[in-house]
Structure 1
Amino acid sequence: MSRLARLRESLSTRDQPCDGWLLVAALALMLVGWVMVTSASSEVAASLTGNAWYFSIRHGIFLVAALVVAAGVLRVPLAWWKANGPLLLLTGLVLLALVLLVGREINGSKRWLSLPGVPFNLQASELAKLFLIVYLAGYLERFLAEVRGQWGAFLRPLVVLGLFGVLLILEPDYGAVVVMTGCVMGMLLMAGAPWGRFLLLALLVAACGALLAIAEPYRLARLTSFVDPWADQFASGYQLTQALIAFGRGSWLGMGLGNSVQKLFYLPEAHTDFVFAVLAEELGLFGAVGVIGLFALLVWRAMAVGRRAELAGLPFAAYLSYGIALVIGAQAFINIAVSSGMLPTKGLTLPLLSYGGSSLLVCAIMVALLLRADIETRRAARRARPTASRNRPGGRPEPSDSRGAAP
């Protein structure tokens, strides 16, 4: 056996109950997130509450609650999620509608619900993303052949997406619309829908996006400031210029944990939307690349879980995994791109890292669903293996072939 083959075998998770690399990546991101939220929020917390650890303690409570909920979700069979997909979809629409009626407005956006007896605000769009993925995974399992061959079956999920999009734009939450659109289109593409349809829809989505971008003055200001943030660095380009200064200060190795200057009331939303900029300032290029590597590992293993489920004949688990991978990957990419000046500013948190109870809770549920899908796939594979062995002449087991299989 070659050295590369031995290394691949040693890193394989084939004989484990679930994908260990997926679990390690998720827990590492959560831990890094808690550390960076503590560092980025200390001065703001001390100014607002008199307690420098206020946001750190709250994020720690959110983290423990998210892990407890994830452990509970891990015990729920995927069959329950598949059976209740339409009900969950309706719940997501109702929550988004309630936000418009009785939601709490923060920084000009009405995105949060204040629930009696709950010590934090619920961001409905986070749950709506999850419920849309669950519904679409069940829809693709039921109508896979029609989605590949008929325009009607292909367009029905886009109609549902349009309903979500209208409610989100009214909040407004343009970033969530972008993430959901990318997720739905990606899931349809992974299901084998023809490429030509996506080209036509891409033109339509681009046109609608351009109209939405210029429909509101604040969106147009974000676009113009994105092109040249230094032209108006104390107004529309303020957030981006401060984030870029943080990246520049970080250099290769960073200024050291806790030594950020930009978090001292220069960079707005330092512990939420722009936590990655503070991370880059304190941990430098190597720390930033390490976090990006953890996200890449998480998305790769999520896609591998989906591929194994698809090969095992579990389409719901496969498309659910693909959808979760697309949402986490897209949201992480957009947040990091916004912080580094590659995309216009959007109000999107960094999954598993940014401060926020709703985001952390939903991301933990998504990771639990990925682990559940992997567990059920491995169980199905173990049940199928003795059957295949009995069906072979002489009862000999099938020769193993790991070509193309993910470790």
Structure 2
Amino acid sequence: MKHRMRKSISSYRLLAPVKIYIRIMLNVGMSIMKRSSVASRSAGMANNINIDRSLYFTILSLLVMGTVMVYSARLPLPSDSELSFDLYNLGMHPVHVLLGLLVMFIFLHIPISIIEKGSGFFLLFGILLLLIVFFKKVFGGSDVLVDGAVRSLNISRFTFQPAELMKLLIVIFSAGYAVRHKDRITEDLVRGMGPIGLVLLLIVTLLMYQPDLGSVIIVCSSTIVVLFLGGMTIRAIAGVTCFLISGVLLIILFTQFRLNRLLAYLDPCSLEHSQNAGWQLCQALVAFGNGGMFGTGIGLGSAKLGHLPLPHTDFIFSVIGEELGFVGVFTVVIIFAFLIIKSIKIGREAMAQDRLFSGLLAQGIGASLCIQALIHVGVNTGLLPTKGLTLPFISYGGSSMLIVCLSMGILFRIDIENKSSPRKKNRINGKVW
């Protein structure tokens, strides 16, 4: 008991420098909530309608936890006599969060009809950004990341990864495509999947040239989910899924470092793999083992001290497991589950009001977040081979933070329009939504 109390006191003292940022974040968040009622003239609404508070506080809780864990993951392990650290360990994370909240506030005031009309243009813009990254790598660029990958664009002092934007844009485009070509995707696989298949092929090619297999998996999976919800038959979905899985396996088999990761995944802590391809996964599992039920305490984990690569981004879930234990890990999973269920509920309500695009978009956003979170958790816990993906809302990363907050702004807008529209029953493929 005394040991646990001592850890709690140490963790509290470690978090003292970051409390001011958390306070600012919460103040900004509460201000946004108070100002986010939408006037009737913005979309022909009869009354001002407030955003869903349960969803909003869920997002805020993830952002606060992310700020705390990013700070902790970048801390050195303190001695009992040295417990003060500056805010350098947060890096640009507070700026990313505040910008994300601002973007979310802006997009919850944009009518979904505008997003629907511009879905094709938005996708072209995203492809253009990917082409710029492509040409930067072909002709040489300065934004070289790990393993020679070029994924970002320089914007003043900031960098932006178009792949993160594409995860959202493909959901928007797929929802619009499913609405415009509903007869095609439900009756003719070739005519229905042909055009969007060519678009996907171009996007996948550009992403793989970076290379970024994780984004490819999320983009393709999100598209399949949206088209399935839009009416594509299970038989067609199964065929497309098998084709995509075969493609991913071929990519892995013919890329040596990915093949090494797959082999290491089978036994990461063996003598053969523990010092090379299996190092990350082995150290992640050690971190979870150290955490036990209640964790070592915030800031008191040891895996981040040169053992666990990228503890503030790709492996932040392992840091949570070590410092907050099973209780912290379970809490994060429950919060994400609530967020995803909420997006599905909002989408189904929109479809019940004959607003198919909004319904598909809301559920597609939920699916994209779910897939990315599942891959991140699966990699960190050893259920999936190692693949670098951030944990939405929690991991360090400006591009990811801006896009997930933008997605939440759209989700809030759909919910607001649901509440302002008369409820209707909508039959899609014989089902009542």
The TM-score with structure 2 as length reference comes to 0.81
Secondary structure at the aligned position of 1:110 is classed as coil
Q: 1:28 to 1:164 in 2, by over 3 A?
A: same
- Pick the aligned partner of 2:344 from 300, 303, 307: 303
Contact 2:175 2:230 in 1 (8 A): no
Contact 1:41 1:271 in 2 (8 A): yes
Contact 1:17 1:378 in 2 (8 A): no
- CA RMSD across the alignment: 1.9
- Pick the aligned partner of 2:207 from 149, 153, 168: 168
2 CA distance for matches of 1:154 and 1:25?
A: 36
- Name 1:200's counterpart in structure 2: 239
2 CA distance for matches of 1:275 and 1:60?
A: 17
- Name 2:165's counterpart in structure 1: 127
1 CA distance for matches of 2:332 and 2:180?
A: 37
- Pick the aligned partner of 1:224 from 263, 270, 286: 263
- Name 1:80's counterpart in structure 2: 114
- Name 1:43's counterpart in structure 2: 76
1 CA distance for matches of 2:225 and 2:105?
A: 28
- Name 1:323's counterpart in structure 2: 364
Aligned pairs, number: 364
Q: Map Cα deviations across residues 4-34 of structure 1 (whole Å, 9 max, x no partner).
A: xxxxxxxxxxx97343322222111111111
**Amino acid of the structure 2 residue aligned with 1:87:** F
* 1:89 has 2:123 as partner: yes
- Name 1:215's counterpart in structure 2: 254
Q: Map Cα deviations across residues 284-330 of structure 1 (whole Å, 9 max, x no partner).
A: 00110100000000000000000000001111111110110110000
Paired residues for 1:176-325 under 5 Å = 176-231=215-270, 232-325=273-366
Pairwise CA distance, 1:52: 5.0
**Amino acid of the structure 2 residue aligned with 1:140:** A
Contact 2:166 2:219 in 1 (8 A): no
- Pick the aligned partner of 2:88 from 46, 50, 54: 54
Contact 1:22 1:298 in 2 (8 A): yes
Secondary structure at the aligned position of 1:114 is classed as strand
**Amino acid of the structure 2 residue aligned with 1:272:** T
**Amino acid of the structure 2 residue aligned with 1:171:** Q
Gaps (5+ residues) in structure 2?
Answer: 1-47, 78-84, 426-431
- Name 2:132's counterpart in structure 1: 98
**Amino acid of the structure 1 residue aligned with 2:61:** A
Pairwise CA distance, 1:55: 4.3
Pairwise CA distance, 1:266: 1.1
Q: 1:135 to 1:54 in 2, by over 3 A?
A: same
Gaps (5+ residues) in structure 1?
Answer: 1-14, 45-50, 386-403
Pairwise CA distance, 1:57: 4.5
Pairwise CA distance, 1:202: 2.5
1 CA distance for matches of 2:220 and 2:378?
A: 18
Percent of residue pairs identical: 33
- Pick the aligned partner of 2:151 from 111, 136, 139: 111
1 CA distance for matches of 2:338 and 2:194?
A: 32
2 CA distance for matches of 1:53 and 1:227?
A: 40
- Name 1:3's counterpart in structure 2: none
1 CA distance for matches of 2:255 and 2:89?
A: 32
- Name 1:144's counterpart in structure 2: 182
Contact 1:250 1:282 in 2 (8 A): yes
1 CA distance for matches of 2:252 and 2:168?
A: 25
Secondary structure at the aligned position of 2:152 is classed as strand
Structure 1 residue runs of 4 or more that deviate by more than 4 Å after TM superposition: none
Contact 1:36 1:275 in 2 (8 A): yes
**Amino acid of the structure 2 residue aligned with 1:105:** V
**Amino acid of the structure 2 residue aligned with 1:168:** L
Contact 1:244 1:341 in 2 (8 A): yes
Contact 1:19 1:301 in 2 (8 A): no
2 CA distance for matches of 1:326 and 1:249?
A: 32
Q: Map Cα deviations across residues 233-255 of structure 1 (whole Å, 9 max, x no partner).
A: 11111111111110000111111
Secondary structure at the aligned position of 2:421 is classed as helix
* 1:33 has 2:74 as partner: no
Q: Map Cα deviations across residues 207-232 of structure 1 (whole Å, 9 max, x no partner).
A: 21111001111100110111111121
* 1:344 has 2:350 as partner: no
1 CA distance for matches of 2:171 and 2:230?
A: 13
Pairwise CA distance, 1:257: 0.9
Secondary structure at the aligned position of 2:75 is classed as helix
- Name 1:397's counterpart in structure 2: none
The TM-score with structure 1 as length reference comes to 0.86
Q: Map Cα deviations across residues 346-402 of structure 1 (whole Å, 9 max, x no partner).
A: 1211111100000000000001100000101111127x89xxxxxxxxxxxxxxxxx
**Amino acid of the structure 1 residue aligned with 2:225:** G
Contact 2:284 2:380 in 1 (8 A): yes
Q: Mean alpha-carbon deviation: is it higher for 79-88 or for 324-333?
A: 79-88
